[in-house]
Amino acid sequence: MNYMERYKSWLKDKNIDEKTKEELKKISDEKEIQDRFYKDLEFGTAGLRGKLGAGTNRMNIYTVSKATQGFANFINKQSKEYAERGVAIAHDSRHMSKEFALDTALIFAANGIKAFLFEDLRPTPELSFSILHLKTAGGIVITASHNPKEYNGYKAYWEDGAQITSKIADPLTEEINNVNDFSTIKRISKEEAIEKGLLKIIGKEIDDIYIEKVKKLSITDDVDKDLCVVYTPLNGTGNKPVRRVLKERGFLNVHVVPEQENPDPDFTTVGYPNPEDTKAFKYSINLGKSVDADLLVATDPDCDRLAIMVKHNNEYVSFSGNQTGAILIKYIIDGLKGKNALPKNGAIIKSIVTGDLGKRIGQENGITTFETLTGFKNICGKENEITKNGEYELIFGYEESIGFKAGDFVKDKDAVISSMLLVEAAAYYKKRGKTLKDVLDGLFEEFGYYLENNFSIILEGIEGQERIKRIMKEYRNLYPKEFSGIKMIKYIDYLEMKEHDLVNNSEKETDVPKSNVLRYFFEDGSWYALRPSGTEPKLKVYIYSIGKTMEDAKEKLNAIKEKMMEIIDSVE
């Protein structure tokens, strides 16, 4: 069916409620109808994600229930044991999150699959932990992470506690696509599900065990616990767990931004609740100045990402995910070395679009760095692969997009863990007369000035998606061979899974799975990459330079951007 036929079929469908049909009837712009119905929401790096509203290309009770019925069918095709183990379910503070989570639980229950449903909002990483702790067959968290209020999402996890990879996603997607009639979706009432033992409400008992495990990741207690911290959960799920773990670790000088403390699905004070954007720190900076805070910490609404600002020379300085990750790597490695606990087979895992400073620190300390595709499902998949037989021991996993993990009891990025470690690191260095900015500057002096300019080109709608495809296609033929006299030495096209060595005129297969990513490397260590987002209408650009001085690195960043944007802008 084309988009108009799909639209009309929803208006005629007896299984679609009247309120939804009224919403559809009020749409006067055919382009809006087209955007809502030209495709089904697809699984990207984070499952389903889209704008709330009626339509096949929107997040609503119908698209969520279709995905859940498909997931239930998939589980029931595995074995009876998988159904008995059940599924853990959590949700964030967004519009419809609680409703989607309950409906998801009742659909699983109606299909004979036990549902462990959190009583109220919880961080995404705690959902991952609960899967491993309860030994469920999988899990679901209803969240759109850091997206604006108009969005929601549906992240699917498997028994290893990590987001589903293609091995599971492909047959699961097939099952979801086979659910063609909403009348085939099974449901029972909450009361019946509880009575039959198919729905269990969970909460504090899981929280307590999770927080205890987080605290055990502490590196040292030799810190200044008077460190003044301002924390904002950005009206999301981090408020209680982050404050609790800091309090129990003895950090009592913690101030929470009052306007962003409690759940707010409209994110009234911030609009775009992404702590990677320094605008999200507006209220934190104001509070920080009034209490003379040393450190500002922000977590996104589902509390799997974290960003910081540090007071240095009486100004609050922002840190990128690459820089924060490098500092955490240094702190963890130095701390383990101090206790003679640094493993000889230690490993760092980062995404292919994450910078190299953390890798360089690891290299200096005999730590191997592995690279994988974007998304913590891939980082944790790699973790499972390299640690399975004890060949390597994971020290740290991270992405440039402010996602970090330590420990092995959560198979996802975790801002509760990273909040504790960041506060602890800042307190450790404060006791020694340093800020985290001093630590970063020391890394630059030791290893070189690693700078970055990462940004997104937003191209919405069908036209935008088509232009992104054209840009990627054209760029494969038109990429610049040098900038400012610095020559390219190789490039990797992950779509064809080949690394092209331009110096030796040779090529080899990559050990990273297939993906539509282009990456270009230069003789001085600078490089850049292009990647269409899997969940948002964006072309993501990552530019990295390394220089002998700050100015040198900045000039290289600008030169690379100018060259590549000439090509991107030329593609209509």
SS (H, E, C) 513-548: CCCCCEEEEECCCCEEEEEECCCCCEEEEEEEEEEC
Distance, CA of 544 to CA of 396 (rounded, Å): 21
Q: Which two tokens stand for residue 569?
A: 């802008």
Look at residue 42 in the predicted model and tell me its pLDDT: 81
Distance CA 96, CA 88 (A): 18
For residue 562 the two structure tokens come to 């100018």
Tokens of 194: 């509880």
256's enclosing H/E stretch is strand 254-256
- Which residues on neighbouring strands pair with residue 531, listed in sequence order? 540
- Position 537 scores a pLDDT of 87
Q: How far is CA 362 from CA 158, 207, 296, 356, 424, in A?
A: 30, 33, 26, 10, 20
> How far is C-alpha 179 from the chain's CA centre?
28
Catalytic residue among 97, 128, 130, 145: 145
H helices of 374-414, in order, are 376-387
| Distances, alpha carbon 520 to alpha carbons 469, 493, 525, in Å | 19, 9, 10
What span, in angstroms and rounded, lies between the C-alpha atoms of 405 and 412? 7
Amino acid code (one letter) for 18: E
Residue 102's identity, in one-letter code, is: L
What is the arrangement of strands in the sheet containing 138-142, beginning at the earlier edge strand? 48-51, 151-158, 138-142, 87-91, 115-118, 199-202
Residue 321 · residue 446 · CB < 8 Å: no
Torsion sign (Cα): 328, 329, 332, 338: negative
- The DSSP symbol for 135 reads T
Which residue type is seen at 197? G
pTM: 0.95
What residues in the chain have per-residue pLDDT under 50?
45
Q: What is the distance in angstroms between the CA of the first residue and the CA of the last residue of the chain?
A: 29
Measuring CA to CA, which residue among 538, 543, 540 is closest to residue 528?
Answer: 543
Q: Taking the CB of residue 488, how many other CB atoms lie within 10 A of it?
A: 19
Instruction: Using alpha carbons, select from 144, 222, 217, 142 the residue that is nearest to residue 418.
Output: 217
**pLDDT score at 296:** 98
* Biggest alpha carbon–alpha carbon distance for the chain: 73
145 is catalytic: yes
In angstroms, rounded to a whole number, what is the distance separating the alpha carbons of residues 199 and 180? 26
Domains parsed from the chain with CATH numbers:
39-202 (3.40.120.10), 212-447 (3.40.120.10), 449-570 (3.30.310.50)
**Contact between 472 and 532 (Cβ < 8 Å):** yes
pLDDT of residue 536: 78
Tokens of 217: 């990741």
Query: What number of residues does the chain have?
Result: 572
Which two structure tokens, joined as six digits, stand for 127? 């959902």
CB of 47 closer than 8 Å to CB of 153: yes
Under the phi-then-psi rule, with left for phi > 0, alpha for psi from -120 to 50, and beta for the rest, what region is 433?
A: left
Residue 69, token pair as written in the block: 């019925």
**Among candidate residues 43, 271, 230, the one with its CA nearest the CA of residue 140:** 43
Q: HEC states along 93-123?
A: CCCCHHHHHHHHHHHHHHCCCCEEEECCCCC
Quick one: pLDDT at residue 41? 87
> Could you give the CA distance from residue 351 to residue 119 in angstroms, rounded to a whole number?
34
